Amino acid sequence: MAATVIDGKAFAAKVRGQVAEHVARLKAEHGITPGLAVVLVGEDPASQVYVRNKGKQTVEVGMNSIEHKLEATTSQDDLLALIAKLNADPSVHGILCQLPVPDHIDGDTIINAIDPAKDVDGFHISNVGLLGTGQDAMVPCTPLGCLMMLRDHHGSLSGMNAVVIGRSNIVGKPMANLLLGDSCTVTIAHSRTADLPAVVRGADIVVAAVGRPQMVPGDWIKPGATVIDVGINRIDKPEGGTRLVGDVDYDSCAEVAGAITPVPGGVGPMTIACLLANTVTACCRANGLDAPQGLTA
Ligand code: NDP
């Protein structure tokens, strides 16, 4: 039986619609417009595309987009001074410094200089600690998007066996914490995991965040399991040119899984939608209002 395809593009549009409604309500009822500041240091082409897309979607949901594009030679002290200014600016509710930063700047120092309440990427050590201890945190956008899709598909995740392949700080670890928060039994697999196929075969939910094209074949998947593919890899096409693929082998996995996210059009679109959701959440909390339901972990 073919798997249900979880349409991340449509789901992301729905999340953006919910964000836009909350923004309109904040404006009408409280006279507040949420503001998202994005800082880009240097001219990395992929980062420029991400920042442009973030700015465009921020404006489309009715929020203020503040962009700071700095020279690649900007010093760490100057960048820290800008972050301090944005931290102190009450019209800025979310701050994001696009990674990677140039080599002469320490990314962790920059992330941890952002006010945790404005840390809409959820990478600040305080937010990592809050998430790890099951408290209200700003949650990293990609895993938050995966969680939203899983909740939408399954309702309750309680008691399900979840395997997260990958243990990075931006995807694997926060994903595992979120699944634990929803009462899954969670295994985190990585490059040293013994007998990965057997580990994955025990999973009702598989989240692949590895960065290896099509690494997970269908015969690792338990029949009926839900497969969330975080990977974004560009591979050569036999006829020339390139195409995007995930970390799972889509065709063989879709034959066995109960549900699966495609690449492109699965997890990818959810990441910016969740960034916007986090910005509204940060704005509400900064103004003593309840965070919007359904847009947080
Ligand atoms: P990292 O490179 O930081 O982490 C990869 C993880 O995969 C590591 O924990 C590594 O293990 C593990 N791994 C590598 N090889 C194997 C293997 N053979 N078997 C099992 N585990 C393995 O990657 P990220 O977490 O940053 O990203 C993962 C993927 O998600 C990438 O394709 C990236 O492009 C994509 N991505 C997509 C986003 C989106 O918006 N959709 C956002 C962020 C990332 P170890 O720790 O032992 O080395």
Instruction: Spell out the domain ranges in the chain.
Output: 32-118, 141-269
Tell me how far CA of residue 281 lies from CA of 45, 100, 160, 292, in angstroms. Answer: 30, 25, 28, 6
Q: Using alpha carbons, list the distances in angstroms from residue 120 to 197, 276, 277, 280.
A: 35, 8, 9, 9
Instruction: Tell me if residue 195 is catalytic.
Output: no
CATH class entry, domain 141-269: alpha beta
Q: What is the mean pLDDT of residues 129-141?
A: 97
Average pLDDT, the chain: 97
pLDDT digits (tens, 9 = 90+) for 211-220: 999 999 999 9
Cis peptide before 90 (omega within 30 of 0): no
- What band does 179 get if pLDDT is binned at 50, 70 and 90? very high
69/77 Cα distance (integer angstroms): 16
CB 167 less than 6 A from any atom of ligand 1:
yes
Distance CA 147, CA 265 (A): 16
Q: Is the CB of 132 inside a 6 Å radius of any atom of ligand 1?
A: no
* Residues pairing with 69 in the sheet: 40
54 is catalytic: yes
Question: Which CATH number applies to 32-118?
Answer: 3.40.50.10860
Q: Is 106 a catalytic residue?
A: no
- What is the distance in A from the centroid of ligand 1 to the CA of 41? 24
Can you give the pLDDT at residue 1?
67
If 0-12 CB within 10 Å is exposed, 13-18 middle and 19+ buried, where does residue 80 land? middle
User: How does pLDDT run across 231-265, given as a tens digit for each residue?
Assistant: 999 999 999 999 999 999 999 999 999 999 999 99
What's the pTM value of the predicted model, to 2 decimals?
0.98
Of residues 54, 118, 173, 222, which has the active-site annotation? 54
Phi, psi angles (nearest 5°) of residue 170: -95, -25
Q: Same CATH topology for 32-118 and 141-269?
A: yes
* 53 in contact with ligand 1, CB cutoff 6 A: no
**CA separation for the pair 284, 138 (Å, rounded):** 12
Contact 207, 162 (CB under 8 A): yes
Question: Within 13 Å and on the Cβ side, how many CA atoms surround 253?
Answer: 30
Q: How confident is the model at residue 105 (pLDDT cuts 50, 70, 90)?
A: very high
